[in-house]
Structure 1
Amino acid sequence: MTQPNAETAAEPSNRWNPAALIRTILVPLLAFAGGLALLQGVLLKGPAGTLRWVDVGCGAAACAVLAFRDRARTPIAIALALVAGIVATAGAANMVALYGVARHRRFPVALAVGLVNLATGCGFWLLYPGNSTFSLTVTVNVAIAAAVIAWGSMRQAQESLLLSYRERAERAEREQQLRETQVRQAERTRIAREMHDVITHRISLVALHAGGMMVDPDPTRGDVRDTAELIYGSARQALEELRLAIGALRADEPTSLEQPGIDRIGDLVTDAEQAGQRVELSMDPDIVEAAPSGVGRDAYRIVQEGLANVRKHAPDTTAVVSLAVADGTLRVRVANDIVDDTLGVPGAGAGLIGLKERADLAGGTLRYGPSAGRFELIGELPWT
């Protein structure tokens, strides 16, 4: 946290400020009144006759300079200190200027101006030694200057502390808003990734149904009707899931899509087989009961993406799906023979990239690629 700059703190702005205008006029008037009171009631011996009126005029001019103190506090304070060394009615204006330096400038600057005040106070005693003894004059001047500097410095420190607290609170609020935005964005990104997985699965089923109808040389009316029903059902489910996903993304506070687990992998296989895809599933039934929710969700997405990729890139092969737990790790594998025939469904490979990120976040691994004439998608997730 950077500390407020004392050189510029609390300086006036260029905006119209009635309170500042009143203060600008009132302070010189009060300083002049204080100078007159000092001249009349405090000094035992001072300027008399014509010099008194000269003193009053010079004091009035010195007080008027206070109206411009915000523009050059230190030079004005030094000038008034020098004037106060010979003009009695400038004494109060001198203290006001000293307070302004202590209030808005660094302490060493205020201390230097205070020393100038002490020196000019001794000069005033040389002009009018009959007012008091030299020791008393020095003592009074030191006490007044010290009190004024201490008061101004204390106010500056108080304002600096309040400003630092305000900045700290504002920064904490901005950081909180940033964290909320990051969490919301992360949730939206995750929903978008899940939307990709879900929609790719449904659309690949539609493509598989349509592709099967295209290669049938002489489909019967019943076959056409059954295939149309399957395409309609898959497309409707895809639209419904897309509507839910977009609704979640548009909401101010996005909520997750449905989070299926290992218990729904059987439904994936059933949907694929109804679409004409050949799938072999090997999974221990005990895994379904014991699977943690997070691991089950990730395993479901791996199988979903794997089956969708097989439908798109090797529709005439058999997809082999296996899930097994060994040494505290769930191993999910989707494999198929590598062939040249594909459905021609476009893909950018974002699904596998998203799966790899999902596995990394879960503390597992994901690898994919050809192996011994087969394409394998293997995910290993911690069984915790």
Structure 2
Amino acid sequence: MRPSTRDRLADVGLFLAAAGFSVLTADSVVVDPGLSPTLLAADQATGALACGALFLRRRWPVQLAVALLVAGTVSHFVTGATLAALYTVAVLRPPRTTGWLAVLAYAPVPVFLARAPDPGAEETDSALTYFALVAAALSWGLYVRSRRQLVASLRERAERAAEEARREAREGIAREMHDVLAHRLSLLSVHAGALEFHPDAPREEIRRAAGVVRDSAHQALEDLREVVGVLREPGGALRPQPVLADVARLVEEAREAGADVVTEWRVADPGAVPAAAGRTAYRVVQECLTNARKHAAGQRVTVRVAGEPGDGLAVEVRNRVPGAGEAAIPGGGNGLVGLAERVRLADGTLVHGRVGGDFRVEARIPWAA
């Protein structure tokens, strides 16, 4: 992978810093009176090559650091490049590698102490300063590495949270699409079936059934258009969601479609039910009426809604199980699965199954006092 502009600028910055360090500290070099100008020039040339080699630090950080540490035992002018190389290893390589490199960097310490250096000598100050700078370069590199890992971890967590939020939003829209469209299309199927199997019905009844088919198809298209609009515009919102009081309208709509629905209400004030709990209860009844219309057409459906603050909201829907061979509208089989997930998201519970000759769905939804 080619280095970015930021990486190139960092490489140039370290090169200039290493070169500047070597130049600014040149006066503090303890020069042997017998050191020839040729050796001094060679030392300076070695330092220049070491600074230039820093442009290879990303490809071979450990090898470069080891080579500069060895060269640093005989040359002062590679010190700046050595510190930059040690910093690079601490940033780019695991702490274990940095630890082994620190051992190599401090290997001369026992030899230095064995010589019993004079505390006031200039050579002692230079050596102590060098070892302190090595410690600073390694420590700063480890700090930068840990900082980068923390930022990467936070970014990854933020991306996961954003993806989870998007997934939940998609699932929520999918649930709304299923609940609304399945209800509308099942109504359309029932009335279209009536027109197909009873072509000799009275004209008024045929006109009413055709009107329901037209209205249901139009409403289904409107609902689908709304959901697609929300998907295209993340900031969009669905129309005001139903509440518990809307269950009465839902039941009346089912009766107009020919369903035999009996309701039992034991909620003193449906308007007092929290919006989330009421919406969940509405979706339970809606899904159950849709399923009854699809799989138990003509069978009586009993809807019971009861509850009060503190005790929660209980919704039960029963219908007779049709006999074998009776026609049914095909379904995907995901309605009750999605319904259970919806109730679970509301911190409620849902059970369903056959009880004698009935199919029962019962949901319990929290209703805080």
How many pairs align? 345
Counterpart residue number, 2:60: none
15-24 or 298-307, which deviates more: 15-24
After the TM superposition, which residues 123-202 of structure 1 pair with which residues of structure 2 at under 5 Å, given as runs?
Answer: 136=118, 139-202=121-184
Letter in 1 for 2:258: G
TM-score with structure 1 setting the length: 0.75
Three-state SS of the structure 2 residue aligned to 1:332 is strand
Counterpart residue number, 1:78: 70
Deviations 1:155-187 (A, max 9, x none): 332243234224323432332232122112202
C-alpha separation in 2, matches of 1:21 and 1:139: 36
Letter in 2 for 1:108: V
Q: Does 1:207 align with 2:189?
A: yes
C-alpha separation in 1, matches of 2:120 and 2:85: 21
Unaligned runs of 5+ in 1: 1-11, 85-89, 123-133
370-379 or 27-36, which deviates more: 27-36
After the TM superposition, which residues 26-41 of structure 1 pair with which residues of structure 2 at under 5 Å, given as runs?
Answer: none
Give the deviation of 1:343 after TM superposition.
Answer: 4.7
Q: Structure 1 residues 158, 316: CA separation in 2 closer, same or farther (over 3 Å shift)?
A: same
Q: Does 1:337 align with 2:320?
A: yes
C-alpha separation in 1, matches of 2:44 and 2:256: 102
Counterpart residue number, 2:94: none
Specify which of 214, 219, 223 is matched with residue 205 of structure 2.
223
C-alpha separation in 2, matches of 1:25 and 1:323: 78
Deviations 1:120-142 (A, max 9, x none): xx7xxxxxxxxxxx965994323
After the TM superposition, which residues 197-346 of structure 1 pair with which residues of structure 2 at under 5 Å, given as runs?
Answer: 197-216=179-198, 218-253=200-235, 255-256=237-238, 258-284=240-266, 286-325=268-307, 328-340=311-323, 342-346=326-330
Three-state SS of the structure 2 residue aligned to 1:286 is coil
TM-score with structure 2 setting the length: 0.78
Q: Structure 1 residues 115, 98: CA separation in 2 closer, same or farther (over 3 Å shift)?
A: farther
Q: Does 1:375 align with 2:359?
A: yes
Q: Structure 1 residues 136, 298: CA separation in 2 closer, same or farther (over 3 Å shift)?
A: closer
Three-state SS of the structure 1 residue aligned to 2:107 is helix
Contact residue 314 and residue 364 of structure 2 kept, 8 A: yes
Contact residue 102 and residue 153 of structure 1 kept, 8 A: no
| Cα-Cα RMSD | 3.7
Query: Structure 1 vs Structure 2: percent identity of aligned residues?
Result: 28
C-alpha separation in 1, matches of 2:225 and 2:198: 33
Query: Whose Rg is larger?
Result: 1
C-alpha separation in 2, matches of 1:29 and 1:169: 31
Letter in 2 for 1:221: R
Three-state SS of the structure 1 residue aligned to 2:365 is strand
Three-state SS of the structure 1 residue aligned to 2:106 is helix
Letter in 2 for 1:336: N
Give the deviation of 1:243 after TM superposition.
Answer: 1.3
Letter in 2 for 1:360: R
Deviations 1:28-86 (A, max 9, x none): 899699879968xx55x425xxxx356456546654653547653334433552xx4xx
C-alpha separation in 1, matches of 2:71 and 2:160: 51
Unaligned runs of 5+ in 2: 58-62, 90-97
